[in-house]
Structure 1
Amino acid sequence: MQELNNIHKTDELELRAALYMQDLFDTFYLNLGLQNIIDKAREIFGHPMLIHDISYKVLASSYDINNITDFMEDENGDKYINEETIKYIHSNYDLMHEIRKSGSYNLIKESAPLNGVLLSLIKIDGIEVAKLVIHGAGKEFSPLAVKLIDRFSQLLSVELRKNNLFERDKNLILNYMIEDLLEGKIIDEETVYNKLHYLKWIKSEDLQIMIITSTGTGVLDSKIPLVMKGLKNFISLDNCTVYKSNITVFVDRRHFDNLFGANSRFEDFLNANNLSAGISLKFSSISESKRFYSQALKAIEFGQRYNTHIAFFEDFRLSIISDSIISQYDLIDFCHPAVIQLINFDKQNGTDLLDTLKNYLYYTNSPNEAAKVLCIHRNTLFYRINKIKDMTEITLNNAEEISKLYISIRLLEINDRLV
């Protein structure tokens, strides 16, 4: 009997949810805008609510939201989430990760700016463009509210797409001159800057090319306007263009910290939207853009291989060299004989002389640090190094020998050939 009652309650809840969603759809089809939909949702949910975009600008809110939280207002009269609340959101990274993975989340924490809220993400084409925040305001959320929130978020996604809040910015039209630059069709530096004069291009002696793409698929396509909208929070869009279905960014010194500094949320932005970024080495000659564009592409390839959302070309140079070698040769052919000898000796005797050598070479001027990493006494370190020298006839007294040994070890590590 209890099971039948539970089934009956479940069916009743589903029916009520369907009826309320019909009311919300009827309001949506009136085509009176986002605010009108939120006003209707306030009646249905029975709680104050708001929608804000990823820059924390409030897009719409219920009439009583000011009783719950404070806002900042800019010179245009636009409202933004207050700084205290933003800091709280940023401090709850694990919570946001859970919401992104499994949907809406009922968050209740005492003495916090978001005391008692129901959160749901609003996405367009898989890109997170806004959040729906429903405040408990001292009342417990009903099972109906929890069931409705994600469905309501999907409706809001359609409305945001329909009312052009997230359409492509007029400044993001594909720039064919930059396309020629990336394809290496323009090689004269003066010609480049003359052509870029009318594109608000800022000449910089310290540039890097960054490519942003979808993780896995390698193209953004329809997501481009939405990603550009989020990118505005980190970098001037004058430095961006659309090329081969992805976003290419010319990163200068002004924007580097905004993107990659210790307090930047750029990696969170990429992670939340399943995006990857590859970044080239620094350069100053804009006519060489094609070369550095290729570096950014290669960085993305290796970043995705190692499951990282941000990949710098400089961090993968040895891996790229390794790939080039093994495409034509056996990697062992490029390794110092002493390294091969130590691998075989360690396997046969259960020792770790190769690891000792690696750390000794890495901490060239600090044997104490090498001993600490190896968890051995400094004297033990020197005993092992002398043993290695005797076994392999290496001297470790010149840069060429040391570099060959260390690179050999690193190449084998990268390819899991040390085991």
Structure 2
Amino acid sequence: MSTYTDSPSKRLLCANWDLMQAAQEGGISAIINTAGEIFDCPILLVDDCFRLIASCPGHFTENEKWNEILKRRSLDIDLIWKVLQENVDNTQNFYKPFYARHGLCKDYPIIMGELQHDKTVYGHILICLGPKPLKEDDLKLTARLIYILELNLNTRGANPDHWHKAMSTRLQDLLLLDTPKHLVKLAVETLNQNIQGRFAILVTPFGNQASQRAFAHLAVMRLQQTFRNIVSLIFEDVIVTLFGGIKYSAAAPILRPDNNTMANQLFSYFEQYDMKSGLSNSFQDLNFALLHYHQALFSAQLANSANQQKRAIFMDQMPLPLFFALLKAEPGRIFIHPVVYQIRAYDKKHSTEYENTLRVYELSMRNKDEAAARLNIHKNTLQYRLNRIMDLFDLPLNDTWTSLNLLCSSLLLDVDNSLGERRPPHED
């Protein structure tokens, strides 16, 4: 074993040699023990779910917090999540090693790093420096330690989450358009054998910042620990959850949280973190999982874009996801009936409510009883407003195509209300 009191460059060279020797001779435990000697402080290696893989020292000490970690064999997930929020660089998908000495770590500074390969998180390293000062090359040393650990972890054949990782891989195969047919067939067969049908998909966007991605991995871990008959994975910038055991009923053909316990529990799980999800229709054939993924994705994106408070159910949203997809490709104002701008300007000037009245009337499919109830006004008041709208704006509400155009405009405004503001496209 080398000594580590020389210059930073020599220290880094010697440490690299000793870590590589430890990897060849003793594997993970030897690497962590060697790292403990190099940094001269306690070291923790945890998996992607923050469960303990190895530690140095590997025995109880006089430090009660350390002993509690060894007893639990895992870290406090909520605490780690807060530390990541305080310290990670949110411009990157994965965080680089960092030194935390403020906030939650002010009394006991640490170096923390993430082990990842091919966009998959394998674990995290915590170097508990405590009162020891940060040395010039400590972060470089940590990066080298992580690299050696990644090489070692990638060669391990088995891990405690083998089933979840295998199922997640199969689900991902169904979500990719370029998956070969033989792998699609294998994915369908494997998931059918392990997840009881009928199925549905829940999609929960989490953003592309490093802290958000770190939390998403925690969320997936907790899902897998809490629920049965589900498969959950990180796919691009969303959490995709496939769940089964859905019983179809002609009396309640549309899957909703109020008629399915699992759907309700999954929505509630993400809502506690202020995350909005979208739910697909239920389905039996996993060959169509990609289509139902897009149903849930559009519903979730719509709920987040419009800041909807109600839960996003695809069939309840239709045809709004269609318009939401359209707005990604085309400027929405080209589809807004020009009378909308006139009515909005009139309302602003005269403090009337004609635009909302017309929109509710069209969205109620011109059912005056329903529209009056939704507006909380008398039916006669509704009729008066409609007559005024026709007179003021020369609008033929009884014309079928006019009504269809106004309905489409109303749906687009439900997606993005700002489309009702007249301004040049270059100002958007």
Q: Does 1:57 align with 2:51?
A: yes
Alignment of 1:16-31 (within 5 A): 16-30=11-25
The one-letter amino acid of 1:338's match is: V
CA gap of 1:286–1:51, structure 2 versus 1, over 3 A, is same
> In 1, Cα distance between the equivalents of 2:335 and 2:102?
58
Deviates more, 1:231-240 or 1:48-57: 231-240
The answer for the alignment partner of 1:407 in structure 2 is 411
Structure 1 gap segments, 5+ residues each: 1-10, 183-194, 217-226, 268-276, 369-383
Alpha-carbon spacing, 1:124–1:352, altered in 2? closer, same or farther (3 Å): farther
* Maintained 8 Å contact 1:34/1:60: yes
1:320: which partner in 2? 322
Which runs of structure 2 are paired with 1:178-197 in the superposition (5 Å)? none
Query: 2:267·2:277 contact (CA, 8 Å) conserved in 1?
Result: no
* Paired AA for residue 143 in structure 2: D
Percent sequence identity over aligned pairs? 14
Gap change, CA 1:338 and 1:149, over 3 Å in 2 = same
Q: CA deviation at 1:286?
A: 2.0
Asked whether 1:294 is paired with 2:283, we answer no
Alpha-carbon shift at residue 298 of structure 1 (Å): 5.3
Contact 1:211–1:279 (Cα < 8 Å) also in 2: yes
Contact preservation (8 Å) 1:278, 1:312: yes
Alignment correspondent of 2:186? none
Partner Cα separation in structure 2 for residue 168 and residue 203 of structure 1 = 22
Gaps of 5+ in 2: 1-5, 178-188, 209-215, 245-260, 306-310, 361-370, 377-384, 424-428
Q: What pairs up with 1:15-414 in 2 under 5 angstroms? A: 15-30=10-25, 32-63=26-57, 66-67=60-61, 68=63, 69-70=65-66, 79-81=73-75, 85-92=76-83, 94-95=85-86, 97-98=88-89, 101=92, 103-109=96-102, 115-166=108-159, 169=162, 172=166, 199-202=193-196, 207-210=199-202, 231=220, 233-235=222-224, 239-240=230-231, 249-252=241-244, 253-254=261-262, 257-258=265-266, 261-262=269-270, 280-283=279-282, 286-287=284-285, 293-297=290-294, 299-300=296-297, 314=314, 317-321=319-323, 323=325, 335-336=336-337, 338-342=339-343, 346=345, 391-392=392-393, 406-407=410-411, 409-410=413-414, 413=417
Q: 1:115 to 1:201 in 2, by over 3 A?
A: same
Cα distance in 2, alignment partners of residues 53 and 332 from structure 1 = 49
Question: 1:52·1:58 contact (CA, 8 Å) conserved in 2?
Answer: yes
SS in 2 for 1:156: helix
1:137-167 deviation line (CA, Å, top 9, x unaligned): 3322322323311221121111111223559
| TM score, norm. by length of structure 2 | 0.57
Matches of 1:114 and 1:265, distance apart in 2: 28
Aligned residues of 2:203 and 2:296 also touching (Cα < 8 A): no
CA contact (8 A) 2:281 2:295 kept: no
Contact 2:302 2:324 in 1 (8 A): no
- Give me the CA root mean square deviation: 5.7
Q: 1:282 to 1:18 in 2, by over 3 A?
A: same
Verify the 8 A CA contact 1:33 1:163 in the aligned structure 2. no
Distance 2:79 2:295 in 1: 37
Q: Distance in 2 between matches of 1:342 and 1:163?
A: 67
Residue-pair matches, total: 340
Structure 1 residue 62: Cα displacement: 0.1
What letter corresponds to residue 22 of structure 1 in structure 2?
A: W
Q: TM-score, normalised by structure 1?
A: 0.58
Give yes or no for contact 2:340–2:420 (8 Å, CA) kept in 1.
Answer: no
